[in-house]
Structure 1
């Protein structure tokens, strides 16, 4: 029983896709005479002419058009079979960190994507403050981290941009004539820096009313009506409200949250997970 040669069928499909024997030869890295010889062999297998002259070029005959349809189906099944049979499931563990600010919003989607695409991968989740997470990433204590910080030792891609707003308690009474009582994180904080820079640029007096070691402490101080903070809009809930231009507060920039890995030293499994998420757009 005769068997169709898949290589010849792939050349037939390339001729149709590229528009000519010459273009198919370039695409496949062969000479035009080799392409012609392949089609002669395929015609011999079929027992019918596959091409007929059309001006200076050639076009498919009725038999050629019919065979092209079969060729595309056969090649698609062949290529799909190879992809599935050669695929090696990614297994192991990926350690991912995320800041408190997006642990309830952005992190779950990333975890869902990893679990759906890599069911054999175990996920170890760390939630903490962004500067410390990035330090852990640089020290190889984490494989990936969601962060609103840029780091020359790491590469990453944007997951989402988040508006930064001025937050206060629902019952807080703002007095624009007095220095703004800031509630800020103790230690390095991008939100603390943005708040101070925005107030200084606008010539608005402020005072560090309360320093907190965690986001939970900041939210508690806000609900108690102790002052104002700059934070991502994700933190807004029924117990908080936003201060804006009508309250005399200056605008704040958006922050981009990125998924990061160590530059050039990520493990094979981490790299596959990272590239898969990057190709999807996060």
Structure 2
């Protein structure tokens, strides 16, 4: 039987980092090594292990050879299995299923990055994401972790962040001059909608609910199209919208609290780790 050299997982880790970051310098930072050490690792991988070049330069651009592309797919799978094996043997509690509840407001802005980092570190923990309005989530008892928006003075759980609600419209629109003011808001059980309407009522400002939905993406689609104005947490306002304030005649809105609830009955090492990552992710 032919004898083949072993491939050190650290060599594969560095190789994948170079492919992901497009060069030795940024990869060296990612794997916490010097650039010369990274170069020596790749020389060893190419000459002593594979026996073929894995990289080629096109001007200043570093690309993979055909052999490098083949190895990259295997390297990712090997490293994934390596991580899974260590998790099972060294962290046997980091398996199973976690059920997370959150309004869809926070999924793209915060949860996407949090879930990616958690999945990379603990691939054997399956995460179920349940997107519902805060009032509906508060009635559920089957979730391990729940993120809700609360009014000041009605906070429960752990504070993730506090933010002002702000008015916003499409950058090229002038809907704030319309009478009545067309609004795109959450359904009428949302206290943020109540705040917005109360603020306009206090100004004796005429308005109409032009679009109503439990989905933030649906609301933002109407606003981005220049069909309505909305009131949302400042961090949820996208680059294609502009924030409206006193200069545009819009009333100031209160501050809302984003809270994290932990289910004490289902508390586990996995839920605690994800909870801490949620806390960190919402404070970035």
Relative to the length of structure 1, the TM-score reads: 0.56
Out of 135, 138, 152, the position equivalent to 1:134 is: 138
Which residue is 1:265 aligned to? 265
Which residue is 2:98 aligned to? 94
Structure 1 residues 210 and 109, CA gap change in structure 2 (3 angstroms): closer
How many Å separate the matches in 2 of 1:148 and 1:281?
16
User: What aligned pairs does 1:1-282 form with structure 2 within 5 A after superposition?
Assistant: 89-111=93-115, 114-115=118-119, 120-135=124-139, 138-140=140-142, 142-149=143-150, 156-176=157-177, 178-262=179-263, 264-269=264-269, 272-273=272-273, 276=276
Paired residues of 1:223 and 1:240 also in contact (CA < 8 A): yes
Shift of 1:245: 0.5
Which protein has the larger Cα radius of gyration, Structure 1 or Structure 2? 1
Shift of 1:167: 1.2
How many Å separate the matches in 2 of 1:213 and 1:275?
25
Deviation digits for residues 78-123 of structure 1, max 9, x if unmatched?
A: xxxxxxxx98634322111222211122223543565577665332
Deviation digits for residues 117-137 of structure 1, max 9, x if unmatched?
A: 7665332223333333333xx
Paired residues of 1:172 and 1:227 also in contact (CA < 8 A): no
* Higher mean displacement: 112-121 or 167-176: 112-121
Deviation digits for residues 54-100 of structure 1, max 9, x if unmatched?
A: xxxxxxxxxxxxxxxxxxxxxxxxxxxxxxxx986343221112222
Q: Secondary structure at the match of 2:265?
A: coil
How many Å separate the matches in 1 of 2:91 and 2:266?
20
- Work out the number of aligned pairs and report it: 191
Shift of 1:255: 1.9
How many Å separate the matches in 1 of 2:195 and 2:271?
33
Structure 1 residues 243 and 276, CA gap change in structure 2 (3 angstroms): closer
CA RMSD of aligned residues (A): 3.3
Deviation digits for residues 117-176 of structure 1, max 9, x if unmatched?
A: 7665332223333333333xx231x211111137xxx95211122331101122221354
How many Å separate the matches in 1 of 2:93 and 2:119?
12
- Structure 1: which 5+ residue stretches go unaligned? 1-85
- Structure 2: which 5+ residue stretches go unaligned? 1-89
Paired residues of 1:183 and 1:229 also in contact (CA < 8 A): yes
Paired residues of 2:100 and 2:146 also in contact (CA < 8 A): yes
How many Å separate the matches in 1 of 2:239 and 2:278?
34
